[in-house]
Structure 1
Amino acid sequence: MKNILLHSRLLVLLAGLLLAAPALWSCNTETASTKVLREHEEQMARIDEDTIRNYLTRNNLIATATRTNSGVYVSTIVAGNGTPVTAGKQVRVKYVGRFLSNGAQPGSSGYPASFGNPSFPQGSIFDNSADNRTACGCAVFTAGNGSTKPGFDEGLQLLRKGDRKLLLIPSRLMYGSAGTTGIPPDSALMFDVEVLEVF
């Protein structure tokens, strides 16, 4: 009787493992579309890093720029000494957004097969707080609440009142491979940000 009971428990255990096996195997299986997306993101991460570092080097800013773990670079133009921007705080800023790259498309080697859309020249302005038609020519954001793209939000939280800094942001932390109106896919962006007020 003990052998029958033990045998039946083993059969139940084996049946359970066999039923669970496909779910366990699928956790480690990468679909073709997921693989293509992952490879594209890895290539763009390398391209964006090179693009940002090359910009900083050409403009003699590389020695003073700092890089976050995510890949956002910050270069100081004017160092403020006011209240730091932290999550939940509102910040009034003047900013100009420019293209660092305009939709670089990775080739098979991981370097650009092309450098994007000529309708969006590198260095050209795509956004400017002065165009907001406010008396101060500025904009107000709340830090850390997800109202801005991850790279810009991260950069904001590295600033303080009185700062004027360049935020150089990889495409994956802005509009990624989807792009948006006026910004082609895979565009690394740069913002010249001046913090007027933190409240």
Structure 2
Amino acid sequence: MLKKFSGYILALAGLTVIFTSCKKEYDSIQTVDSAKITDFIAKNNITGMVQDSAKTGYYYQIVTPGTVGALLKNSDTILYTGSFKGMESGVTYFSTASYYNLNNFVGYTNSISYNGASYNIPAIREVMLKMRRGGTARILLPSYLAFGRNGAGEIPSNENIDLTITTFPDTTQAQLDDRLIQAFVTSKGLNMTKDPSGIWYSISAPGSGEVPITAESKITAAYTGRLTDGTVFDSSTSAEFELEGGVIAGWTRIIPGKLLKGGKMRMIIPSRLAYGKSGRGSIPGNTILDFDLEVLTITN
């Protein structure tokens, strides 16, 4: 009996050894992501990357610290862009550059909207507090501090993110728009005038006739509307508009008193006189618009 019992014990011990040897140890996502990030830094010879002081898992590099004002505080409003790229794939999934992040408080920049959902990414705020206005930083985010195992939109599961943050020196959207318009005009070699409203314009043909255009006029116009990257978002060879309430505020501000029938104008309109923070359709919020316009008819 004792022999038989000893045999059972030996058999049980053997099974334990077998099952133990078959058990596979899986690394945590923290370990996997950390190894990928450190390998990425080494393979790409990236210097100046440091791990966050709390060792939550992200690495960052202040590329340019910025030159305007003191270090940013949570209570400061900030205009900035963020470009989210797959660390290993190199695919840029999305960028906030099109709307300049709507003048958030620094303390709220950890909240990012993408694909209809909101994500909490504290690394953005934490790194931004080490910068001044006009600065740039690069952050390597492990997946568990970014979009997680579920991913988001085109971002796959457990994707580490290579994030670039650029803060603008401007303190208001109006200042930013004006600086960007001036840079656009200069880069294109355009000869344009700045109206007191903030609109830049050039008149290639003033038009003729006795009927003036006022804010209350109804006009028929041929026009093309573009973004500053050249993308055409709207055009017509003959569209009728009421200038008061029927078009964006920029048209109402700049057309009356400057054109007659047959008049032609190019106008670059700051976002506050276009579709503002909300945008419209395919036009993101805080977008500068570039129009060519010809007045075909005027009705008062």
Q: Identify whether the pair has TM-score above 0.5, normalized to the shorter chain.
A: yes
**Matching residue within 203, 209, 215 for 1:87:** 215
The 1-side partners of 2:171 and 2:208 are apart by: 37
Partner of 1:155: 254
Partner of 2:203: 76
- Deviations for 1:115-146, whole angstroms, at most 9, x for unmatched residues? xxxxxxx11100101xxxxxxx3111122x22
Give the SS at the match of 1:181. Answer: coil
Partner deviation per Cα, 1:86-113 (whole Å, 9 max, x = no partner) = 122211100000002xxxxxxxxxxxxx
Give the Å deviation of 1:159. 2.3
Q: In 2, distance between residues paired with 1:84 and 1:42?
A: 39
Q: Match of 1:98, SS?
A: strand
Q: Is the contact between residue 77 and residue 171 of structure 2 (CA under 8 Å) also seen in structure 1?
A: no
Aligned pairs (5 A) from 1:35-184 = 36=77, 40=103, 42-62=171-191, 65-82=192-209, 83-100=211-228, 122-129=229-236, 137-143=237-243, 145-157=244-256, 158-184=258-284
Query: In structure 2, what is the Cα distance between the partners aligned to 1:180 and 1:189?
Result: 12
Structure 2: which amino acid aligns with 1:190?
D
Q: Distance in 1 between matches of 2:180 and 2:297?
A: 31
Q: How many residues are paired up?
A: 134
Report how far residue 66 of structure 1 moved: 2.2
Question: Which of these two proteins has the greater Rg computed from alpha carbons?
Answer: 2
Determine the C-alpha separation between the residues in 1 that align with 2:287 and 2:215. 26
CA distance in 1, matches of 2:252, 2:232: 19
In the TM superposition, what is the alpha-carbon distance from 1:36 to its structure 2 partner? 4.8
The percentage of counterpart residues that share the same residue type is 33
SS at match of 1:154: helix
Alpha-carbon distance in structure 2 between the residues aligned to 1:152 and 1:89? 12
Moved more, 44-53 or 175-184: 44-53
Q: Compute the RMSD of aligned alpha carbons.
A: 2.4
Deviates more, 1:91-100 or 1:159-168: 159-168
Partner of 1:195: 295
In 2: Cα distance, 1:96 partner to 1:149 partner: 14
Separation in 2 of the partners of 1:183 and 1:95?
17
TM-score by length of 1: 0.60
Do 2:215 and 2:252's aligned partners in 1 also have CA atoms closer than 8 Å?
no
* Higher normalized contact order (CA 8 Å, seq sep 6+, divided by chain length): 1
Choose between structure 1 and 2: higher strand proportion. 2
For 2:187, the aligned partner's letter is R
Alpha-carbon deviations, 1:155-198, whole Å to 9, x = none?
23232211111111000111111111110111000110001111
Contact 2:197–2:253, Cα closer than 8 Å, also in 1: no
Contact 2:181-2:268 within 8 A present in 1 as well: yes
Flag the 1:151–1:125 CA change in 2: closer, same or farther, 3 A: same
Q: TM-score, normalised to structure 2's length?
A: 0.41
Task: Point out where structure 2 has 5 or more consecutive residues left out of the alignment.
Answer: 1-75, 79-101, 104-169
Q: Which residue of 2 aligns with 1:19?
A: none
Q: Which moved more, 1:183-192 or 1:70-79?
A: 70-79
Do the aligned partners of 2:268 and 2:288 also contact (CA within 8 Å) in 1? yes
SS in 2 for 1:49: helix
1:138 alignment partner, SS class: strand
SS in 2 for 1:180: coil
